[in-house]
């Protein structure tokens, strides 16, 4: 069965079979600090019909309480208990695996991770305070690192764009705007230097590398491996995947990923809301995280095209996502109409079912009917 647009013909079957809707946030609820059209009406309609709402985000920059404050600032009432962020998932992973109380966690990421770790009773340091520190490498120079660090949690780091040192946001933005092929040659010709990881002011990456490589048994935990994120309303910016890839390269190790598409957070959702996966619907804008997360857990899935890279959808969408719509506003608009709902601007969904093996691996282990 290929993807189908959400319509009056299939809306009722979906709506009646779902007790809890799980929503991604960036690109589904908001872009940057701006709500996407129709979100308040949709959430209000779902609550009025007795549906449970859960917000599952890979963005670890904020804690659950900070996300609740953001919802409030945008005019939407959401409780902290309805929010499951990858910052919370990182803390819970360590707690359920009985992280030794005498050990510490070094954080390459935002304040949200530090706050969730403290709430879990885990000692942590690093985070934004270390993001802009520089290291002046000299002959016979040696870095002392904390031998009690038993885990390094890696997420995205936001560096101010006015940082006098060329930072990863500037580099990635330039590459995204100007290069598709021939990155190095074109960059040299235009007088642009593509700097390596060690050229960037990222002492936190170096410190984390030391802990993972030199502290026996030190865990390497990634909040997620998203390549980009919606840090602002108009553009995507480098995500946690950039930082994670740097640490993978410097340590030659792979991380434990606690955010989507890993189903680690689903264990907490099931205990908290007492709803079976078959009665949940994951709503997201990314095939490789949101939709795959839902499918891995056995949930229904709804892909929204509010910010989706349509080239990726052309290639994989019709086999991976069973239902799609322009935005979550389609849920509320279809709940109050019986006429045929026409969609505009949707991609051609004709797609051969026999994807090549290497193409299937790019979106994870997915059953293709």
Range in 86-90, 116-120, 175-179 with the lowest mean pLDDT: 175-179
- The answer to whether 363 touches 292, Cβ cutoff 8 Å, is yes
pLDDT recorded at residue 57: 96
Residue stretches of the annotated binding site for Mg(2+):
24, 26, 285
Residue stretches of the annotated binding site:
24, 26, 260, 285
- Do the two domains 4-58+261-362 and 96-160+197-257 of this chain adopt the same fold? yes
Going from N- to C-terminal start, the domains of the chain cover 4-58+261-362, 96-160+197-257
Residue 338 has pLDDT above 60, yes or no: no
Tens-place pLDDT, residues 157-210: 765 444 444 444 444 454 444 443 344 444 444 444 443 333 333 578 889 999
225 phi and psi angles, rounded to 5 deg: -125, 30
> CB 81: neighbour CB atoms within 10 A?
11
Residue stretches of the annotated binding site for substrate:
260
pLDDT recorded at residue 330: 53
Tens-place pLDDT, residues 102-113: 999 999 999 999
Residue 145 has pLDDT above 50, yes or no: yes
SS3 content of the chain, % helix, strand, coil (to 5): 40, 15, 45
> What is the fold of 96-160+197-257?
Rossmann fold (3.40.50)
Q: Helices 203-214 and 240-251 sit at what angle, rounded to 10 degrees?
A: 40
Residues 6+ apart with CB under 8 A from 20: 51, 52, 53, 54, 269, 273, 275, 279, 280, 281
pLDDT band at 344 (very low <50, low <70, confident <90, very high): very low
pLDDT recorded at residue 128: 87
pLDDT recorded at residue 158: 60
pTM: 0.75
Active site residues: 24, 26
Residues facing residue 53 across a β-bridge: 21
pLDDT recorded at residue 3: 65
pLDDT recorded at residue 355: 30
Q: What is the β-pairing status of strands 20-23 and 4-5?
A: unpaired
Range in 12-16, 90-94, 268-272, 319-323 with the lowest mean pLDDT: 319-323
Average pLDDT, the chain: 76
Exposure of 346 by Cβ count < 10 A (0-12 exposed, 13-18 middle, 19+ buried)? middle
Residue 332 has pLDDT above 60, yes or no: no
Q: Which homologous superfamily does the CATH classification assign to the domain defined by 4-58+261-362?
A: HAD superfamily/HAD-like (3.40.50.1000)
Tens-place pLDDT, residues 37-51: 888 988 999 999 999
Sign of the C-alpha dihedral, residues 115, 120, 122, 123? positive
pLDDT recorded at residue 323: 52
Tens-place pLDDT, residues 267-304: 888 888 889 999 999 999 888 899 999 999 999 998 88
Residues 6+ apart with CB under 8 A from 368: 319, 353, 355, 360
Range in 226-230, 238-242, 245-249, 326-330 with the lowest mean pLDDT: 326-330
Exposure of 166 by Cβ count < 10 A (0-12 exposed, 13-18 middle, 19+ buried)? middle
């Amino acid at each position: 069965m290929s993807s189908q647009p959400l319509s009056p013909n299939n809306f009722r079957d979906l709506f009646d079979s779902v007790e809890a809707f799980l929503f991604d946030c960036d690109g589904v609820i908001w872009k940057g600090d701006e709500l996407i059209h129709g979100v308040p009406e949709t959430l209000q309609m779902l609550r009025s019909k007795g549906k449970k709402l859960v917000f599952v985000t890979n963005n670890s920059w904020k804690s659950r309480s900070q996300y609740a404050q953001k919802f409030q600032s945008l005019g939407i009432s959401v409780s902290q208990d309805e929010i499951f962020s990858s910052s919370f998932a990182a803390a819970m992973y360590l707690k359920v695996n009985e992280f030794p109380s005498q050990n510490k966690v070094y954080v390459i990421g935002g304040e949200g991770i530090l706050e969730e770790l403290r709430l879990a009773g885990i000692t942590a340091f690093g985070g934004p305070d270390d993001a802009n520190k520089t290291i002046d490498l000299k002959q016979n120079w040696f870095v002392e690192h904390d031998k009690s660090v038993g885990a390094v949690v890696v997420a995205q780091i936001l560096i101010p764009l006015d940082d006098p040192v060329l930072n990863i946001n500037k580099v990635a933005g330039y590459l995204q705007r100007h290069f598709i092929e021939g990155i190095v040659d074109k960059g040299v010709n235009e007088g642009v230097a593509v700097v390596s990881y060690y050229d960037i002011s990222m002492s936190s990456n170096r410190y984390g590398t030391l802990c993972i490589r030199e502290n026996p048994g030190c865990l390497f935990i990634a909040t997620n491996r998203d390549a980009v994120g919606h840090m602002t309303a108009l553009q995507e910016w480098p995500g946690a995947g950039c930082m994670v890839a740097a640490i993978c390269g410097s340590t030659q190790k792979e991380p434990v990923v606690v955010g989507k598409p890993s189903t680690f957070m689903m264990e907490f959702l099931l205990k908290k809301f007492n709803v079976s996966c078959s009665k949940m619907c994951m709503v997201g804008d990314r095939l490789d995280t949101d939709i795959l997360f839902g499918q891995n857990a056995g949930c229904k899935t709804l892909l929204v095209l509010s910010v989706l890279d349509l080239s990726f959808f052309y290639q994989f969408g019709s086999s991976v996502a069973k239902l799609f719509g322009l935005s979550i506003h389609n849920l509320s608009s279809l709940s109050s109409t019986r006429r045929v709902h026409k969609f505009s601007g949707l991609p051609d969904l004709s797609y051969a079912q026999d994807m090549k093996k290497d193409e299937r691996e790019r979106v994870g282990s997915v059953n293709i009917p």
